Structure 1
Amino acid sequence: MRLDSRSRLVVLGVLVVASVVALALLLVRPLLASDPVVQAAEALPGTVVRVSYTDWAQVQQAADGASVGTGSSDEQVEDFLDRAFEEDLIGSSSLASSFPGLEENFGVTPLDAEWEVYGQAPEGSVAVLRFSDDVDLDEVEGRFEGLGYEAPESGAGEGGTWIGEVDQVAGLPGPLTQVQENLAVLPDEHLMLMGDDPEFVDRAVDVVRGDEEGLDEVPGIGSLLGELEEPAVATVWVGDFACEELAMSQADPSDVVEGERLVDEAGGVNPLTGLAFAESADAELRFVFAFDSSEDASEDLQPRTDLASGPAAGQGGSFADRFEITSSTADGPLVTMIAKPVDGQVLADVGQGPVLFATC
């Protein structure tokens, strides 16, 4: 069948429109996930090995901070942060200690944001705040030059990284940290990025724009994060980094021997390929372990559960004093334990090594 000239023009027009749409999708990589913690992973470089996530909207609700925000008194903010800390909701935040400095210098705090994610990699670290739609990030970026940051070559409004110096940032009204040494703003995505290394901040910007692989593209990380079910706070160890940071080898020699004995009694464990600890706004705990295979996960279901219910070699006392496991399941390459706190700040406690039930 041959097309007349009008039909050919229509077909050509459709193809042009389709090509433009496809090109736009390639040039812009908006944060597409509906799950906020997965969305946060879309903003981090794929080399990140440790992730700290805080859903500030949930934290405000859980810690009675709905009326607290930019413009609140220092006492109101401090009282809110104290409540959130006591409820184990901000211990992993990279920005919780910088509220006064953030407001004084940039005019915003995490209370203006939906979530915060902090990613650490061997070559640098970056904190990302996803702000609510009514925050004017152009106005925020307009403050940077006056604060002494060196403007990017592309100028303001282009997503380039503003570079600061240690002494310059230390001289600003504080407290601020090395996380605020380098800054970038992406108004269309409602993101502000901060980091200790300008090149690493550049890379995070490239990830958001789709020019570099993000953490969400690392094999297995999507299913691991999805199992957390929109937490208020979470810490994630990527790949086998949990085996390094939480290793029992960090414990005193006598605790190492005790840990080895307990692991042997439990039946041994397989290596981890990922780990996440999370807590919801209503204080439900989740411990998610990732393995190479469903067979490894099934084999580790009972030993890991037994270890998480017994003595806490290297930390003192027992895990049963800290939390009560209400369910433990294996699904594919993941083992998920659901628990409720018994006493104290569980994540702040067991999120630091050595952790027997997370050992490799």
Structure 2
Amino acid sequence: MSKRVTVVVAAVVGLVLLAALAVVGVRWWRDRDRTAFEQATSYAPADAARLSWTDWAAVRDRTGADLDATSSGDDVQSFLDKAFDVDLTSTSALVQSAPVLQAHFGFSPANVEWELFSQSTAGAVVILRLPDDDLDAVGDDLEDAGFKRPGTDDGVWIGGDSLLPEIGADLSPELQYVALDADRGLVLTSDRSDYLHDVVDGLGDDHLSDPVKSVVDASGEPLSAAVYDGDNACSALAMSQADADDQATADRLVEEAGTIDPMTAYALSVQPGGHVRAVMAFADGDQAKANAASRAVLAAGPAPGQGGDFSDRFSVASASAEGDLVTLDLVPRSGEYVFSDLASGPVLFATC
């Protein structure tokens, strides 16, 4: 090779390395002030209506679990039982599948850093962040399990509904198709290959609406969280899911409480200290101020559609309005599963 060719090759390699470093640098600059929760939700597809978040690293720390990709299925199940007891597993799409995942897929709640489960009327996807050294082996594990390797690094691994029962029992349909993003350390799974391909193509575009971003930001660094866009919150948590008598009781309580406006986004989360935080976004600051007062009243009273009183399950430590957001800080009573109870409707204080 001539000296001139050597210089040209070296220059090209140098440019490629600089370009790669530039991409890494831009990503670091963009993410440097983001929590893991914010980073994860930035990967959600544009059609996401509900996001379910589990910070598995924090959950393992909370329960004192010392696990990795080589831990036994029994150890993983024991960890999940402890996490269930402290109400930290209800948002995960992986719990039932965990022992088989641990044995055959190279990832499970034992080594995943975090999990984001995105759902919409168009499709669903599970997005997982793994340690870099664990992600390296996932492709080999998938191939050994029977998945068809894609022709490109960012392609979709094909499993399908006929493969999963061959691997093991109780695998979620959301594990039929898998994609790997080595640059971001992500594993993505879905029950539809076309939907998964579209999600991979849109990664990093930060599709979420401003109201959803605002309730995510206000949720801090939760161990577990459920996030809804406005339309989904006003249907999934609606009192219309209750029976007629409970709906009549709810109507009376809402009228007595005062102004209730539709939410533009909603997040419920388990905080590091154990409190449950509800964050509601509204059209403007005036609505937020009015709803902070009315929804605090509702959260301290009867719970039609769920039974009993909210005060039997938690106390309202604070209710505040800042900008267009309302935040309720709820302190669970001992032994109560406040987060999982309130993450689906009917929930009176989250009514629209």
Taking the TM superposition and a 5 Å limit, the aligned residue runs for 1:175-190 are 175-190=170-185
Match of 1:56 in 2: 56
State which of 111, 135, 148 in structure 2 corresponds to 1:150. Answer: 148
Q: Which runs of 4+ in 1 moved over 3 A?
A: 20-26, 28-31, 213-216
- 2:340 is equivalent to residue 341 of structure 1: no
Percent sequence identity over aligned pairs: 37
Checking the alignment, whether the CA contact within 8 Å between 1:100 and 1:175 is kept in structure 2 is: no
Partner secondary structure for residue 132 of structure 2: coil
Q: Deviations over 1:269-288 (max 9, x none)?
A: 00011100000232111000
Query: Displacement of 1:141 after TM fit?
Result: 1.1
Taking the TM superposition and a 5 Å limit, the aligned residue runs for 1:1-360 are 25=23, 32=31, 34-65=34-65, 67-135=66-134, 137-152=135-150, 154-155=151-152, 158-208=153-203, 210=204, 213-216=205-208, 218-343=209-334, 344-360=336-352
Checking the alignment, whether the CA contact within 8 Å between 1:248 and 1:356 is kept in structure 2 is: yes
Unaligned runs of 5+ in 2: 1-14
The code of the aligned residue for 2:252 comes to R
Checking the alignment, whether the CA contact within 8 Å between 1:270 and 1:296 is kept in structure 2 is: yes
Partner secondary structure for residue 312 of structure 1: coil
Query: Displacement of 1:88 after TM fit?
Result: 0.6
Query: Displacement of 1:316 after TM fit?
Result: 0.3
The code of the aligned residue for 1:105 comes to H
Q: Deviations over 1:83-134 (max 9, x none)?
A: 1101011111111221111112212222212111000011110111111233
Matched residue count: 333
Unaligned runs of 5+ in 1: 1-16
Checking the alignment, whether the CA contact within 8 Å between 1:237 and 1:276 is kept in structure 2 is: yes
Checking the alignment, whether the CA contact within 8 Å between 2:45 and 2:207 is kept in structure 1 is: yes
The code of the aligned residue for 1:142 comes to D
The code of the aligned residue for 2:50 comes to R
Could you tell me how far apart the structure 2 residues matched to 1:23 and 1:283 are?
Answer: 40
1:23–1:72 distance in 2 versus 1, CA, 3 Å: closer
Deviates more, 1:163-172 or 1:190-199: 163-172
Q: Deviations over 1:48-88 (max 9, x none)?
A: 000100001110111121x2333333332222111110101
1:23–1:140 distance in 2 versus 1, CA, 3 Å: closer
Query: Displacement of 1:351 after TM fit?
Result: 1.2
The code of the aligned residue for 1:116 comes to E
Query: Displacement of 1:220 after TM fit?
Result: 2.1
Query: Displacement of 1:138 after TM fit?
Result: 3.4
Superposition CA RMSD, Å:
2.2
The code of the aligned residue for 2:79 comes to F
The code of the aligned residue for 2:186 comes to L
Could you tell me how far apart the structure 1 residues matched to 2:85 and 2:20 are?
Answer: 48
The code of the aligned residue for 1:161 comes to V
TM-score (norm 1): 0.87
Partner secondary structure for residue 170 of structure 1: helix
Could you tell me how far apart the structure 1 residues matched to 2:22 and 2:231 are?
Answer: 36
Could you tell me how far apart the structure 2 residues matched to 1:195 and 1:100 are?
Answer: 19
Checking the alignment, whether the CA contact within 8 Å between 2:259 and 2:290 is kept in structure 1 is: no
Match of 2:11 in 1: none
Query: Displacement of 1:174 after TM fit?
Result: 3.4
